Amino acid sequence: MNLPSFIWLWQIAAWSMGCSLLAYVMLAVTGGWLFNRRTLKRSRPRWLRPLHYSIGIVLVTFVLVLLAIGLVGTLGYYGSLGHSPHLIVGLLVVTLVLISATSATQIGRRPWARSLHLAANGLLFLGFIAVTFTGWTVVQKYLP
């Protein structure tokens, strides 16, 4: 893959990562609000749950875009995968997001789904830190 198109690819990646982190923060805020209303047994705005759910779909989309860019970009550049711990951390983050999203669809139907949703999202926080750190480390290789 030639260099200009390669940089263009990582630019999309950088924006997607920014949007993912923003989505995560917004999910933490709207999720915390849902939690607060439920535990205080107070009514919640009707739009709150659909909003949380929609931002969740946005997060899933961006993380899958990042996975695709990471795989395509690395394969295009090296012709193979697994050049740093970033691969395993990236796969872990994608897995956690998918666990979070699938467990979310079961909240209300199965008692364990809520705890799974919260556990996955807590781990996801650490996952995002790790994927950003390992990703930033590999970016150093390309900087002049």
Q: Residues interacting with ligand HEM, by CB under 6 A?
A: 13, 17, 20, 24, 27-28, 31-32, 34-35, 38, 49, 52-53, 56, 59-60, 63, 66-67, 70-71, 73-74, 81-84, 86-87, 90, 93-94, 97, 100-101, 104, 107-108, 114, 117, 121, 124, 131-132, 135-136, 138-139, 141
Hey, CA dihedral for 123, 138, 68, 25, is it positive or negative? positive
> Distance between terminal CA atoms of the chain?
18
As a whole number of angstroms, the distance between CA 138 and CA 84 comes to 8
Q: Minimal CA–CA distance to 101: which of 47, 39, 58?
A: 58
- Least distance between ligand HEM and beta carbon 144 (Å): 15
- Least distance between ligand HEM and beta carbon 97 (Å): 5
Q: Minimal CA–CA distance to 52: which of 64, 41, 44?
A: 44
Q: Minimal CA–CA distance to 24: which of 32, 14, 36?
A: 32
Is the Cβ of residue 108 or residue 111 nearer to ligand HEM in the bound state?
Answer: 108
Is the Cβ of residue 22 or residue 67 nearer to ligand HEM in the bound state?
Answer: 67
- Least distance between ligand HEM and beta carbon 62 (Å): 8
